[in-house]
Amino acid sequence: MFSIASNGSLTMINGTPFGDSGAGFLAGVDIDCASSHLFGGEMTTGNSTVDVFSIGSTGALSRIQGSPFSPGTGTNSNVAVLSPNDQFLFVSNQGSASILTFGVGSTGALALANSTFLTGGTNTLGGMATDQSGSFLYVASHSTTTDLIYVFNIAADGSLTQTAGSPFDTLQAGGLLSLAAFPAKACAAPTGPPPPPVTPPPVAPPPVTPPPTPGSPITVKIDIRPSDDEHDSDFQGSQASVINPKSHGKIRVAILSSATFNAPSLVDMHSLTFGHSGTEPSLAYCEAHSLDVNHDHFPDLVCSFYTQKTNFQKGDTIGILKGLLMDKTTAIEGTDSVKIAH
């Protein structure tokens, strides 16, 4: 287990590597959105086995009660992947050409929900990925004659059904061990009730300004990057960003988080519009992983917009971003200073 610095460098956590007392060797791993549990499939010649560890505040791992979990079916469980809502854990079995679906409890405990066995082929299953909504599961498979990608619909109970045309032939052979889906899954906002406070919260002071009327957009703080260089991760802060409307590049806009607003989990990134009026459909993509662009230790949502679709005009002094929260109802709006290059 390593801690990750702001520049991406790694530092091994005290006490690592943590020993595993399972029958096999840990292979594929995944961590839930709360960063409270780590799930790992074991490479073993026996029945499918999955380890579950709790993650301490220092990053230390400790096996939860009941771990390792072995349902008595499937063989050689190398890969473990969580659904975006953390309700299900999918495990591919290389020795039995099957996929197990586990229900994940609040403590991280696993319960077998469904088993899906593939027939009529000799391919070995490998890496898996879900789409961002958690509607589809993609599974890599390989053999000496052909590499295939299986695609499954994920039902509400976690059961899997192959889509029309699955599996899909890659026209290659022998090397498809893993895959990735883009946009990658993003952690959903928690849906359960918050835990009760240890002590009663203090009475909030009266607001300085009246709350927004129903239907009014929530104001969010945004930061516009000052150039079209997609590899520039620095944000300008309070300085106006210089924008050339004729550029064929993109403009990066960060929606900043705070202690009470987690932009990556609350904002519906597909609803975002940005530009001269804020209604321009200029979205190119959003980063799959959140970034802390203003170094306040809160994860920010960073999205890129096509410059020529923003309709910025001579004399504009602000860029406007609009969108919705994940509830598809609550509107958001943010502005930041810009300077239009002649």
Span 240-275, pLDDT tens digits: 889 999 888 999 999 999 999 999 999 999 999 999
Please state the rounded mean pLDDT for residues 289-295. Answer: 86
Alpha carbon distance 252, 236 (integer Å):
11
Answer yes or no: same fold for 2-172 and 218-227+239-340: no
Burial state string for 119-137 with b = 16 or more CB within 10 A and e = fewer than 16: eeeebbbbbbbbbbebebb
Contact 41, 78 (CB under 8 A): yes
247, amino acid identity: S
Q: In CATH, which of 2.60.40, 2.40.30, 2.60.120, 2.40.50 is domain 218-227+239-340?
A: 2.60.40
Domain residue ranges of the chain, discontinuous segments joined by +:
2-172, 218-227+239-340
Q: Which residue has the higher pLDDT, 253 or 3?
A: 253
**At 308, phi and psi to the nearest 5?**
-70, -10
Q: Which residue has the tokens 């240890």?
A: 198
Q: Are strands 160-162 and 250-255 parallel, antiparallel or unpaired?
A: unpaired
Q: What is the DSSP code (8-state) at residue 266?
A: H
Asked if pLDDT for residue 323 goes beyond 80, the answer is yes
Range scoring the smallest mean pLDDT among 45-49, 96-100, 236-240:
236-240
Return d(Cα 157, Cα 246) in angstroms, integer.
Answer: 50
The DSSP secondary-structure symbol of 131 reads -
Question: Which letter does DSSP use for residue 83 in this model?
Answer: -
Q: Quick one: which of 79, 42, 35, 33 has its CA closest to 60?
A: 35
Task: Work out the angle at residue 43's Cα, subtended by the Cα atoms of residues 12 and 74, and round it to the nearest 5 degrees.
Answer: 140
Query: Helices marked H in the chain — which ranges?
Result: 263-266
Fold observed for domain 2-172: Methylamine Dehydrogenase; Chain H (2.130.10)
Of 44, 31, 94, 106, give the one whose Cα is nearest residue 70: 44
Q: How confident is the model at residue 115 (pLDDT cuts 50, 70, 90)?
A: confident
pLDDT bucket at 209, cuts 50 / 70 / 90: low
Is the distance from CB of 243 to CB of 339 less than 8 angstroms?
Answer: yes
Position 15 scores a pLDDT of 66
